[in-house]
Structure 1
């Protein structure tokens, strides 16, 4: 109830002329802001001009995604025309995880450094692309209903060394489990990568992407138009892993966010 009140009050304050000086967003989480078309003005988030997105289920409305980076702190300033909303970033209590993998996946040999950089640059270029059209018209679905073995946000200690944070949610899955697309979209990555292994990345439009990693088989190709529920590959244990599973991720609002909380926020607000 408290969250619903904050959501209502935040939208009212930003869109109807009363500045709200304080609202909170957790690091690594996203907030969906909704506006009637006539109230949606020039949108600037954290100093960068952004685009309002057509509401997927309600005519006459638009929405925007405000996301806090995992490592961010301080505030996010959102301007809608001459109205302003200030988000205070709350540090969430993410845990540390100890993981044992092949040492070559922790300190890669020089022979693969060029490959790693190429794969990273390719992904960053894709995520920097904002497709104006929103390809979805229904709520997101979590690809598996199995046990979550590793939630978003944990500090990853690979073989005792801190290397990264967990940018997605891991689901238990033996090798060969069919992996469905979380929603409609266009495939932007479909290949084997050094760290992520067999990888599929789907563009859902308007800066929203879902990621499916460590696949043993990829069943789609770049440019394919996929529908929600369509099988994009089979789960596996490829890349930097300690065992078979599905890594599911969401990139939205310009950064990696908690996929479980994003889906909950997106579905509750827009459908």
Structure 2
């Protein structure tokens, strides 16, 4: 979405205070306030995690504080966070601006994360399931560090790490073996303290046991597995990732497989949870 604002010496064209939603699912509003010699740019973030917004301005007779095409990180549940100032350059001449933006969850400026964190298996004690597709799997995990656990529909899924639920979908009930059905995936998305995310996918219809904004503890039941979306069999798809503005970076993560063993999970291997 692109907006344009113009001011000359005698009057200002201000029709409405427009929000820009660069991603319809992300609840961020970018807006401006008029000053005596330009504009102040602000953002509201109604999400339960930080959000990154990259803004590209097109200006006439306005300088941009901090430079153009810059990424801003907006705090969670923050109102009126100041982003930048546009200031008139030559007095007495008309000035105007327009801008385009892209946004996504998390802080894309924070490159560090807890690489040594040990995750729990995503199911209850004394249960065991097979990793049917591992990191960079040949079916649907090419160039992606994600895991598929074969499990019957309705299996209780547990959180692999503490976090907060920032998004979920569990209203779908359709599946097929092609990528076209990705849009029907049921998912729970959880944000972690080190700016990483866990996505649990293919839940059954109405299978979420949490809601957006819930604080989650490791091992807590969060949903029920299913066979929904891009799926050929009942399973849980789990991926840990860092989010960029346009794409995610999926991560290989270590799991606790029993009281004494910490390891990366391997394809076609069964894992019994003893703890």
TM-score w.r.t. structure 2 length? Answer: 0.42
TM-score w.r.t. structure 1 length? Answer: 0.43
Q: Which has the higher helix share?
A: 1
Q: Which has the larger radius of gyration?
A: 2
